[in-house]
Chains A and B, each alone.
Chain A
Amino acid sequence: MKVGLYNMVTGNMSRRRMLQGATSLGAISALGGLTGGLLPGAAQAESHMDVRAAILKIPGVGNGSPTDADWQKVGEMTLAATKANVAEGEFAGVELTFLGLNNQNLHNFLFRGFLKPWEAYTGAKINWIDLAQADYNPRLQQAIATGTVDFDIIEMGAPFEGDTAGRGLLDEMPDWVKAQIEMDDYVDYLKAPVGTWDGKTYRITVDGDCHTFAYRTDYFGEGSISGMAEAPKTWAEVQAVSKAVKGQTDPLTGGDAYGFLDPLKGWGGFGFYFLEDRATAYAKHPDNPAWLFDPENMKPYVNNPAFVQAIQDVMDTMPDLPPDQINADPGTTAFQQFLAGTGSMICWWGDVGSNARTSDSSVVGDVVGFSINPGADKVYNNVTGAWEELSEPNYAPNMAYLGWGIYVTNRVSGDEKKRKAAWSAAAHLGGKDISLWTAAYPSGFQPYRNSNFNYDEWEAAGYDRAFVEDYLGSNADSYNHPNAAIEPRIPGIFQYYSVAEDELAKGFAGQYGSAQETADAIAAAWEKITDQIGRDSQLALYRASLGM
Chain B
Amino acid sequence: MSEGDLLHVVTADRITDQRRLAGRFVIWGSVAVLGLTALLKSLQEAGTISLPWATWQPVLYAYVLFGVCLCWGQVILKGEQGKRLVFVLPAALFTVAMVIFPLIFGLTIAFTDWNLASLSGRKFNGLDNIRQMWGDPFYWNAMTNMVWYVLAIAVEYAIAFGLALLLNAEIRARKFFRVAFLLPLMLSPVAVSWMIGKSMMELRFGPVANFARWLGWDSPSFFGSAGVARTSIMVMDAWTFIPFMMIMILAGLQAIPKELHEAARVDGASAWQNFWEVTFPLMLPVSITAILIRVIFKLKLADIIINVTSGGPGGATDSVTSFIFREYRDRSNVGYGTLLAMVYLVIIVIAMTILMKLADRWMRPRY
| Chain A contact residues, CB within 8 Å of chain B | 138, 141-142, 144-145, 148, 162-163, 166-167, 265-269, 322-324, 326-327, 329, 336, 342, 491-492, 494-495, 498-499, 502, 505-506, 508-511, 529, 532-534, 537
Binds A, one of B147-155, B179-187, B282-290, B328-336: B328-336
* Contact between B117 and A323, CB atoms less than 8 A apart: no
State A326–B317 Cα separation when bound (angstroms).
13
Known: A327-B309, A498-B331, A533-B118. 7 other contacts (CB 8 A): A141-B117, A166-B119, A323-B221, A495-B331, A505-B315, A509-B226, A511-B315
Contacts of A529 in B (CB 8 A): 115, 331
Residue on B with the closest CB to A325? B224
**Chain B 114-158: CB-based contact to A (< 8 A → 1; otherwise 0):** 111111110000000000000000100000000000000000000
Mostly helix, strand, loop or mixed at chain B's interface?
A: loop
* Contact between B310 and A266, CB atoms less than 8 A apart: yes
* Contact between B116 and A502, CB atoms less than 8 A apart: no
Q: Known contacts A502-B138, A508-B314, A532-B113; is A537 also within 8 Å of B119 by CB?
A: yes
Contacts of B223 in A (CB 8 A): 324, 326-327
Q: Known contacts A145-B116, A145-B121, A326-B224; is A138 also within 8 Å of B329 by CB?
A: yes
Residue on A with the closest CB to B221? A324
Residues 339-366 of B at the A interface (beta carbon under 8 Å): none
* Contact between B113 and A324, CB atoms less than 8 A apart: no
B316 interface residue, CB < 8 Å from A?
yes
* Contact between A491 and B117, CB atoms less than 8 A apart: yes
* Contact between B332 and A265, CB atoms less than 8 A apart: no
* Contact between A323 and B116, CB atoms less than 8 A apart: no
B188 interface residue, CB < 8 Å from A?
no
* Contact between B326 and A495, CB atoms less than 8 A apart: no
* Contact between A505 and B117, CB atoms less than 8 A apart: no
Contacts of B203 in A (CB 8 A): 323-324
Contacts of B332 in A (CB 8 A): 141, 492, 495
In this complex, the interface size class of chain B, counting residues with CB under 8 Å from chain A, is 35 or more
Contacts of B116 in A (CB 8 A): 141-142, 144-145, 492
One of A142, A323, A505, A510 near B219 (C-beta < 8 A) = A323
Residue on A with the closest CB to B219? A323
One of A166, A265, A494 near B330 (C-beta < 8 A) = A494
Contacts of A145 in B (CB 8 A): 114, 116, 121, 334
* Contact between A506 and B314, CB atoms less than 8 A apart: yes
State A323–B316 Cα separation when bound (angstroms).
18
User: Which 5 pairs between the two chains have the least Cβ-Cβ distance?
Assistant: A509-B314, A492-B117, A498-B330, A491-B117, A324-B221
Residue on B with the closest CB to A142? B116
Contacts of A268 in B (CB 8 A): 330
Expressed in whole angstroms, the minimum distance between the Cβ of B269 and any Cβ of chain A is 51
Of residues A324, A336, A492, A505, which shows the largest number of chain B Cβ atoms within 10 Å of its Cβ?
A324
Q: Known contacts A324-B223, A327-B224; is A266 also within 8 Å of B312 by CB?
A: yes
Contacts of A265 in B (CB 8 A): 309-310, 312-313
Q: Known contacts A268-B330, A324-B223, A324-B224; is A505 also within 8 Å of B313 by CB?
A: yes
* Contact between B331 and A499, CB atoms less than 8 A apart: yes
* Contact between A495 and B119, CB atoms less than 8 A apart: no
State A91–B135 Cα separation when bound (angstroms).
58
